[in-house]
């Protein structure tokens, strides 16, 4: 079992397959669930943006979208269990990719009612983006790694007019460099943001960078399960990282799961404020 530089087990191979079958088979074994837990918060934020900003169909950029899972859950009102069952079915395992794609297109058409948002996927995996776009989970794709370079003009055109930026697990692998480039490409109106970030990664550097660009950031005062540890060795490596960062894992990572927190960022003086009232969640300001 190989581990990346963060201490997490390396799952790079499941993001570069021509379709998401391996992705779902692998992550189902680890009870990966963060997109499901993020779904109501993203939905709330999209609705709040539509109401506050008067935008009927906001443009949503999903950073690190892989096969478009967040968009699929939102556009098709699907659940992770439904998708796990869909892609783990024995008959599906032997299907040709073209047949799988055709079935997914039918799925999107049958479940995607009134258009409430337009999704643009940003990812470094051409294979994952290609499938997500072909299936109709996302409406456009930006195949790029913006950590070390500015977006091309074509990429800027696709990111122009971004209203919201979301992610579930990308922060820690992408930094404020990527976020700043997305914000710059978005244009004059700065997008709202919602990032689910593993507790092993600090969001403070990104919050500080966003503050310099005129944002205020809050943290939702609860934690969210991401997935179970893949092995005792992975857990040990992550616990060591948390200890070094001064994060207490008792009752959380120490019990066998990776946990994330939700950070919401919004431009100052936008005439509104980020409000998430699901389950009476409280928000904590980030300096």
Q: Is residue 287 predicted with pLDDT exceeding 70?
A: no
pLDDT at position 171 over 50: yes
On the question of pLDDT at 116 being above 70, the answer is: yes
Alpha helix ranges (H) inside the chain: 21-29, 34-53, 69-75, 80-88, 90-93, 97-111, 126-135, 153-159, 176-186, 204-212, 232-245
DSSP state of 12: G
On whether residue 60 sits in a domain, the answer given is yes
The predicted pLDDT at position 95 comes to 92
Does residue 214 lie in a domain region?
yes
The number of distinct structural domains making up the chain is 1
> Whole-angstrom Cα distance, residue 65 to residue 128?
8
Question: Is residue 76 one of the residues assigned to a domain?
Answer: yes
The answer to the question of residue 6 being in a domain is: no
- Give the range of the structural domain holding residue 261, as residue numbers without chain letter: 12-286
Tell me if residue 86 falls in helix, strand or coil. Answer: helix
Q: Is residue 3 part of a domain?
A: no
Q: What is the pLDDT of residues 126-142, one digit of tens each?
A: 999 999 999 999 999 99
Q: Is residue 4 part of a domain?
A: no
CATH number at residue 193: 3.40.50.150
Calculate the alpha carbon distances from 210 to 52, 176, 177, 264 in Å. Answer: 21, 8, 10, 11
pLDDT above 70: percentage of residues in the chain: 93
pLDDT of residue 251: 97
**pLDDT greater than 70 at residue 285:** no
Token digits for 112? Answer: 């995607």
Answer whether residue 5 is part of any domain: no
pLDDT at 278: 53
Q: Residue 1 falls within a domain, yes or no?
A: no
For position 279, what pLDDT does the model report? Answer: 46
Q: Given pLDDT bands bounded at 50, 70 and 90, which one contains residue 1?
A: confident
């Amino acid at each position: 079992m190989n581990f990346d530089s963060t201490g997490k087990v390396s799952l790079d191979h499941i993001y570069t397959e021509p379709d998401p079958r391996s992705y779902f088979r692998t992550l189902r074994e680890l009870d990966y669930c963060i997109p499901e837990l993020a779904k109501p918060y993203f939905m709330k934020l999209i609705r709040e943006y539509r109401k506050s900003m008067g935008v009927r169909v906001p443009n949503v950029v999903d950073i690190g979208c892989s096969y478009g899972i967040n968009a699929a859950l939102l556009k098709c009102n699907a659940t992770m269990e439904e998708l796990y069952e869909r892609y783990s079915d024995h008959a599906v395992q032997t299907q040709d990719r073209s047949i799988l794609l055709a079935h997914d297109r039918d799925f999107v058409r049958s479940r995607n009612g009134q258009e409430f948002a337009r999704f643009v996927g940003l990812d470094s995996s051409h294979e994952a983006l290609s499938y997500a776009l072909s299936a109709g989970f996302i409406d456009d794709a930006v195949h790029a790694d913006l950590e070390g370079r500015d977006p091309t003009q074509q990429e800027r055109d696709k990111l122009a007019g971004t209203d919201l930026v979301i992610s579930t697990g990308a922060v820690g692998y992408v930094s404020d460099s990527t976020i700043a480039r997305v914000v710059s490409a978005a244009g004059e109106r700065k997008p709202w943001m919602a990032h689910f970030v593993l507790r092993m990664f600090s969001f403070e550097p990104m919050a500080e960078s966003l503050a310099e660009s005129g944002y205020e950031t809050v943290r939702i005062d609860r934690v969210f399960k991401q997935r179970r540890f893949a092995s005792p060795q992975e857990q040990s490596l992550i616990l060591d990282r948390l200890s070094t960062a001064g994060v207490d894992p008792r009752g959380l990572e120490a019990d066998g799961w990776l946990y994330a927190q939700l950070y919401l960022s919004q431009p100052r003086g936008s005439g509104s404020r980020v409000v998430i009232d699901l389950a009476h969640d409280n928000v904590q300001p980030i300096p």
